[in-house]
Structure 1
Amino acid sequence: MPRKPRLDPSIFHLPVERMREGYYSDKYFVRTRELLLKDKHRPCVTMQVFGKAHAFLGGIDEAIAILKLCSMEWPELEVRALYDGDEIEPWETVLLIEGPYDAFAPLETLYLGVLARRTKVGTNTRRVVEAASPKQVMFFPARHDHWLVQTGDGYAAHIAGAIGVSTDAQASWWGSEGVGTVPHALIAAYGGDTVLASQKFADLSDPGVRLITLVDFDNDCVGTSLKVARALGRRLWGVRIDTSETLVDKSVVPQMGTFKPTGVTPQLVWNVRRALDKEGFQHVKIVVSGGFTVEKIRSFEEEGVPVDMYGVGSSLFQGRFDFTATVGASRIGGLGRGAACCAPTVSETDHTTPGTAPSDPADKSAY
């Protein structure tokens, strides 16, 4: 089965010279290269990279771009790799590099870090997407980490199945743009009037942009949803419930007693859905956000809560998905000492064992 083409290395905007000189690399890798070059010793090695957890791979195209653009001699390297989005097992080799070690020694810090970061985001996103299925998931964690990670994180989430991301940077690697809703800040800018803020959005924004309004500004999601729906009619695509985990919505107060009432609860969603349906606004979708995890989404789906879309944020940055590498000599002699660097014979009988290559190179491809 044909695989999706890899991303072009130029899309990553890598600081090539800085990376090549070792500015972002662990110092011992930099010194290792310096020593080998001074000794004119060029041992050919096999570097095999693997993760330590069951996961969905991310960052592999970026890792290959680092090798291609930042290694000293890319033509001397042979690289095989799995693909972004591939499901991987603990200790399964995801990236195999063969060639003279001095050509790529300082890059290990970089490609391991890229794989760890993007795999974490992609795996966490895939898990919430699977928990929410067939409901859609929007990727909303941009505010919970440094802005420089947005581009790759957004792509990892996209590969994992998120239908939208919140910033243009997150969508840039596949040529899209961010999505969003009428925010609390805009409502506050119009004196706390959710209807007025939503009307201004409808009047002054691109008609092609979905109008989704946050309805918890007054802590009365039912009342606000109805007011906005009455004012905007079919222009309103959906309402978003984002009630603070420290507050109890007005509509939930009379129903308290048998469940945790704070935040976005199943009861609150049902209250909004029933109120909208009663007045004929069945077309208005319900988006929920605020503290959603795999477990909370799974619970909502098992209870049949009438959510149409989930917005998920900080939980997508949790967990550890470490990668490491083992290096073995392909030939004792080095290129500088008259030995030719050749591609070693690699066992492919057990791809779940550290030190073996991707099990199906015809399917999982060479770069």
Structure 2
Amino acid sequence: MARPRKQRLDPSIFHLPADKMREGYYSDKYFVRARDLLRRARHRPRVTMQVFGKSHAYLGGIDEAIAILKLCAESWDELVVHALYDGEEIQPWETVLLIEGPYDAFAVLETLYLGVLARRTRVGTNTRLVVQAAKPKEVMFFPARHDHWLVQTGDGYAAHIAGAIGVSTDAQASWWGSEGVRALGDQLYGVRLDTSETLVDRSVIPQMGTFRPTGVNPQLVWNVRRALDAEGFTHVKIVVSGGFTVEKIRNFEEQAVPVDVYGVGSSLFQGRFDFTADVVMLEGKPRAKVGRSYRPNPRLERVE
């Protein structure tokens, strides 16, 4: 077998509650009942499960999904799994994960692996879009306070894969062995502008009239840059945050606003990037919903 193109994360890094997942505690109940019915009947049909999204996106959560299958399926050795890699660009309806094996061995895991794919792909795709809008400027991942703390580890990794240069918490950086960026170091090397969207900085009041003056706006950044330069602090960088989206970053870049780094938060949680899993083969024969037949994807790689 050809050598894998990339290294995948080790399943142990995810700290999964494997026993609870395997029993179906976090799964939609109908999957649990389907598995139990098959077991009582001692019927183990071998299926091919095809997983795909419906949007153009940048894939996230695939290593986490694989870990769920490895650690929580009845027996990994019974499964044959092919998958793409985290961070890869995907097209609508493209197969990102293919699972072959006895259905009862992994039936209850569908809720789980679809959920992590949806969550991490949303964060990763939104991060990639702001990184592209800001390029060559750098982007920091700052949404920790806008969601439950338990999502930090996977969200941070999704943002890292998507191109964010830093995350704000140690948990977000834990999957690749790093730590959160420090807003305050041993010496001042940057200024962060984070004016509320409901306030007007006093420095822009004399110039009001032709632009929206609230929050972090281009005029405010220019005022700070000129003030720093006038005092000899040309080496001090400017980091902006607070309400930044792809559109706002593009607007700043089109105006050549002297920003050095963008900090982006809650906008990275917006949108929907749902995934679907369909049985497309039963005992090696086509058995799919109308319009959802087996779609081979040469980009998939066998997971060992």
> TM-score with structure 2 length normalisation?
0.95
Q: Is the 8 A contact 1:81 1:358 kept in 2?
A: no
Structure 1 gap ranges (5+): 183-208, 212-234, 332-343, 347-352
In structure 1, C-alpha distance between the alignment counterparts of 2:27 and 2:302, rounded to whole Å: 28
Which of the residues 264, 269, 273 maps onto 1:321? 273
| C-alpha deviation, 1:73, in angstroms | 1.5
Which of the residues 233, 240, 251 maps onto 1:281? 233
Q: Which residue of 2 aligns with 1:357?
A: 296
| C-alpha deviation, 1:250, in angstroms | 0.8
Amino acid at match of 2:217: T
Amino acid at match of 2:296: A
Structure 2 gap ranges (5+): 287-291
Residues 40-62 of structure 1 show CA distances to partners (whole Å, capped at 9, x for unaligned) of: 00000000000010000000000
Which of the residues 71, 84, 87 maps onto 1:85? 87
SS in 2 for 1:106: helix
| C-alpha deviation, 1:3, in angstroms | 2.5
| Structure 1 residues 169 and 133: CA distance shift in structure 2, 3 A | same
| C-alpha deviation, 1:330, in angstroms | 3.0
| Structure 1 residues 294 and 115: CA distance shift in structure 2, 3 A | same
SS in 1 for 2:173: helix
Q: Is the 8 A contact 2:134 2:253 kept in 1?
A: yes
SS in 2 for 1:108: helix
Matched, 1:253 2:205: yes
Q: Which residue of 2 aligns with 1:128?
A: 130
SS in 2 for 1:259: coil
| C-alpha deviation, 1:324, in angstroms | 0.5
Amino acid at match of 1:309: V
SS in 1 for 2:211: coil
Matched, 1:291 2:243: yes
In structure 2, C-alpha distance between the alignment counterparts of 1:329 and 1:4, rounded to whole Å: 28
In structure 1, C-alpha distance between the alignment counterparts of 2:111 and 2:103, rounded to whole Å: 14
Q: Which residue of 1 aligns with 2:253?
A: 301
| C-alpha deviation, 1:358, in angstroms | 2.5
Q: Which residue of 2 aligns with 1:366?
A: 303
Q: Is the 8 A contact 1:43 1:329 kept in 2?
A: no
In structure 2, C-alpha distance between the alignment counterparts of 1:244 and 1:345, rounded to whole Å: 59
Residues 306-332 of structure 1 show CA distances to partners (whole Å, capped at 9, x for unaligned) of: 00000000000000000001103431x
- After superposing on structure 2, the runs of 4+ consecutive aligned residues of structure 1 that deviate more than 6 Å are none
Question: Which range moves more in the overlay, 150-159 or 322-331?
Answer: 322-331
Q: Is the 8 A contact 2:83 2:98 kept in 1?
A: yes
Q: Is the 8 A contact 2:49 2:280 kept in 1?
A: yes
| C-alpha deviation, 1:354, in angstroms | 5.7
Q: Which residue of 1 aligns with 2:191?
A: 239
Amino acid at match of 1:91: W
In structure 1, C-alpha distance between the alignment counterparts of 2:8 and 2:285, rounded to whole Å: 26
Q: Is the 8 A contact 1:92 1:354 kept in 2?
A: no
Amino acid at match of 2:245: T
Amino acid at match of 2:264: V
What is the number of equivalent residue pairs in this alignment? 297
* Identical residues among aligned pairs (%): 77
| C-alpha deviation, 1:4, in angstroms | 2.3
Q: Which residue of 2 aligns with 1:264?
A: 216
